Structure 1
Amino acid sequence: MLAADREFPALTDFGHDPWWLILAKAIAIFAFLVLTVLVAILAERKVMARMQQRLGPNRVGPGGLLQSLVDGVKLALKEGLTPAGVDRPLYLLAPVIAVVPAIMAFAVIPMGPMVSVFGHRTPLQLTDLPVAVLYVLAITSIGVYGIVLAGWSSSSTYPLLGGLRSTAQVISYEIAMGLGFATVFLLSATMSTSGIVAGQQSRWYVLVLLPSFVVYAIAMVGETNRAPFDLPEAEGELVGGFHTEYSSLKFAMFMLAEYINMATVSALATTLFLGGWQVMWPISLIPGANSGWVPLVWFVFKMWCFLFVFIWLRTTLPRLRYDQFMTLGWKVLIPFALAWVMVVAVIVQATRGLSGTVTGLIFGAVGIVATAALVATIARVVGGSAAPPPPTPDPAAPFDPMAGGFPVPPLPGQVVPGSRPHSIKESTDA
């Protein structure tokens, strides 16, 4: 079938565009991401204000619509301060490392079918690869180096702790995310993003791979350092985390990377589980609903549904304790995702000769049971009661500096066994 007769792109459709069309696609993606960030920041402040029964930004522009743009200009024009003692090359390079991979990851996201641009038949996607999903995982992992280097190069305690937390967070949740992708690969028999979208013409993978979708939805929040998983920049514990020592345009670049990463993981969730740019039945029965430029609207709408959930979570849920966060990743999500991959592989092999409807019903039934078990386990881990407080020490009992397992200095009035009490005057005279 010729490319002009197909709506779904194939790998052979990429690499044949003229240079000006490739450049136009790259510029369009960059402009789309920057505009998405500006709108997302304003929408976040507006939605959070609405949920918290306050006004939110309403001064700059009609209804406060220009607030994000003005904030960006203000950050760009502010004086950039570099603290003394930082590792200057890494300190300046960290924001760049954080933002550039965030933009590059969007290159393989399919935003629409084959369209005509000035007579050239081309897919609404910059490029595609046989391992496009693995490319997204690899390129987003590089972006984490920006956070780690920002904490290391700042030569400050709190940024260093934030960078270390980010390292542990990415290692923990990227494993679960990759295992969630593996089930999609088993069903679609491809790692190409355009091929995965084409494999969802009859049914979206969220209907048959619901547990994988739940695992990915949790992991993508952890990957982007968003509440309730914003531990690398917990202001209640680490002042500002890895970007405490950053200001002006360098701070704005970290914020830009965060919101672009949110858009990227939302677009990837749309591609892998919600049919990509395809609209659901019965709207798909309308002639032209899944052809031309119209699917771009469906893609943006689905992506913004995920972005709204990010905002909703930040407004609703408190930050997790670090032990709960690590327990959720290593003891719940990773073992469950690994077991679910094995279950999907067994079902795929066992239903090879059955019809698609029967296979879908089996996947749906098993997926609902597995999802219910996963949600119950998460509720038990995250919603469990805090550890009981330690007993109050008896003032009359002898002081033991190693009672808690590590040395503790004595409080006023307590005496370490084997030493004689002394007065403040004796200490001053000494």
Structure 2
Amino acid sequence: MTEGLITLALILAKLLLILGVLLSAAAYLVLMERKLLGRMQMRYGPNRAGPGGMFQPLADVIKLITKEDFIPPQGDRAIFFLAPGLAALTALLAFAVVPFAPPVNLFGRELPMVVCDLNIGVLYFLGLSSLAVYGVALGGWASNSKYALLGGIRSLAQLLSYELAMGLALIPVVLMARSFSLTDIVLAQQGLPFALLNPLAFVVFMISTAAECKRLPFDLPEAENELVAGFHTEYSGLRFGLFFVGEYINLIILGSMVTVFFLGGWHGPFLPPIVWFMLKVLAVAFFFIWTRATLPRLRYDQLMHFGWKVLIPLSLLNVLVTGAVLLWLKG
């Protein structure tokens, strides 16, 4: 009984710690993006709230709390309330299987640095990424607005299309690691990261991740100049903030997945493992911010053509080639 209570207490402590770190990281990732975009576009970015703009996330939260919470009179109120929470919740739940460091010894017992080390962690991640589209699609539909509905439909088609390529890009990783556990996948990269062993899968996964995060050049769900901010047109106040937080938490989660699947996870010389993990996640986030400042938005037909006629065939070919090479090496 005591052992079970200790295990439960450790799990709850890890959950609270991860929740606090994720929410803080999402807030300051917004500040980092605004600062970097400002420098890349030859301007300053936020620099008024606190030293160097460090209190800007707090000012943004206060602004969202004090804004009027508008609800469309003809919309579906229940689904309108549910959609932002669903978008943020699915992003938060995905981090439960992310191993961010090797197990540590605490009070004479081994403590894994992951909330739940599932032996089907890859399938859990893919399942939650599939559920994430519901928050966006339901938010657009429940608003009873043609602009929000168009944004939701675009988002649904885009996310479902690029999930296929993302899932196919992970099959070579599972084949090389011979496990669906994310911890085993990290341990299998002690020598070389899978980004070097299978660069095509890495490139396809990175592109699919950008589409899943709705980052440029794949931000068609929000295409402001066409859809008046897309699926969250009718949202304001804290509910708009939940969509926003969910998007940046999703960016951290997918950056963590890129790190786990292709960049060797916590492995690295000289620095502590958790520092290596955080640096790799920040490097992936910086890459997505850099593309936002650099690349133009695709047309919708170009986006769908690229997903179905380029990424998916390349992913299927890569699965066949990887399987053949592994069989040849085994024989």
TM-score bucket (shorter structure)? over 0.9
Following superposition, the deviation at residue 20 of structure 1 comes to 1.3
Alignment of 1:75-94 (within 5 A): 75-94=64-83
Instruction: Name the count of aligned residue pairs.
Output: 328
Higher relative contact order (CA 8 A, sep 6+): 2
3-state SS of paired residue (2:330): coil
Matched residues in 1 for 2:106 and 2:92: separation?
23
Which residue identity is paired with 1:22? Answer: I
Q: Provide the rounded CA distance (Å) in 2 between the counterparts of 1:36 and 1:141.
A: 24
Counterpart for residue 349 of structure 1: 327
Which position in structure 1 is the counterpart of 2:243? Answer: 254
Partners of 1:18 and 1:78 in 2: CA distance? 42
1:272 to 244, 261, 264: 261
In structure 1, how many angstroms separate the alpha carbons of the residues matched to 2:106 and 2:40? 42
What are the within-5 Å matches in structure 2 for residues 33-52 of structure 1?
Answer: 33-52=22-41
Question: The residue matched to 2:48 in structure 1 has which SS?
Answer: coil
Counterpart Cα distance in 2 of 1:36 and 1:120: 29
Structure-2 separation of matches of 1:272 and 1:16: 33
Q: Residue 205 of structure 2: SS of its match in structure 1? A: helix
Whole-angstrom CA distance in 2 between matches of 1:330 and 1:80: 39
Change (3 A) 1:86 1:130: same
More helix per residue: 1 or 2? 2
The aligned amino acid for 1:337 is S
1:150 paired to 2:159: no
Task: Report whether the alignment pairs 1:192 with 2:199.
Answer: no
Give, in whole Å, the separation in 1 of the partners of 2:29 and 2:108.
34
Match of 1:333 in 2: 311
Runs of 4+ in 1 over 6 A off after TM superposition: none
The whole-number CA distance in structure 2 between the counterparts of 1:143 and 1:331 is 24
| Residue 16 (structure 1) shift | 9.6
**Counterpart of 1:297 in structure 2: which amino acid?**
V
Residue 19 of structure 1 is matched in structure 2 by 8
Unaligned runs of 5+ in 2: none
| C-alpha distance in structure 2 between counterparts of 1:118 and 1:254, whole Å | 40
**1:293-318 deviations in Å (ceiling 9; x for gaps):** x2110000000000001111111111
* Alpha-carbon offset, residue 130 of structure 1: 1.4
Q: CA deviation at 1:73?
A: 2.1
**Alignment partners' CA distance in 2, 1:242 and 1:114:** 41
Q: Deviations over 1:305-335 (max 9, x none)?
A: 0000111111111110011100100000001
Q: 1:120 to 1:325 in 2, by over 3 A?
A: same
SS of the residue 2:221 aligns to: helix
Q: Decide whether the 8 Å contact of 1:180 with 1:215 is kept in 2.
A: yes
* Residue 296 (structure 2) aligns with: 318
* Residues in 1 aligned to 2:173 and 2:99: alpha-carbon distance in whole angstroms: 16
Report the Cα distance in structure 2 between the residues aligned to 1:249 and 1:117, rounded to whole angstroms.
Answer: 39
Identity %: 48
Structure 1 stretches of 5 or more lacking a match? 1-14, 354-430
> Which protein shows a greater Rg?
1
What is the TM-score normalised by the length of structure 1?
A: 0.75
Is contact 1:148-1:166 (8 Å) kept? yes
In structure 1, what is the Cα distance between the partners aligned to 2:68 and 2:151? 24
TM-score normalized with structure 2 length: 0.97
Provide the rounded CA distance (Å) in 1 between the counterparts of 2:127 and 2:102.
Answer: 25
The SS at the match of 1:231 is: coil
Paired residue secondary structure (2:137): helix
Query: Which secondary structure does the structure 2 equivalent of 1:130 belong to?
Result: coil
**Aligned counterpart in structure 2 of residue 107 of structure 1, from 72, 96, 104:** 96
Distance (whole Å) between structure 1 residues aligned to residue 109 and residue 326 of structure 2 = 39
CA positional deviation for 1:181: 0.3
C-alpha distance in 2 between matches for 1:275 and 1:233:
33
- Tell me how far 1:226 sits from its aligned partner: 1.3
Tell me the amino acid that sits aligned with residue 156 of structure 1: S
Deviations 1:263-283 (A, max 9, x none): 00100000011111111xxx2
Distance 1:93 1:325 in 2: 29
1:77 Cα deviation (Å)?
2.4
Equivalent residue number for residue 296 of structure 1: 274
Deviation per CA, 1:161-205, whole angstroms, max 9, x where unpaired? 011011110111000000000000111100100000111112111
The separation in 1 between residues aligned to 2:298 and 2:6, in whole angstroms, is 48
1:131 aligns with 2:109: no
The alignment's C-alpha RMSD in Å is: 1.3
Give yes or no for contact 2:72–2:144 (8 Å, CA) kept in 1.
no
1:358-377 to 2 correspondence within 5 Å?
Answer: none
Residues 337-363 of structure 1: per-residue CA shift (max 9 Å, x gap): 00110000011111115xxxxxxxxxx
SS in 2 for 1:310: helix
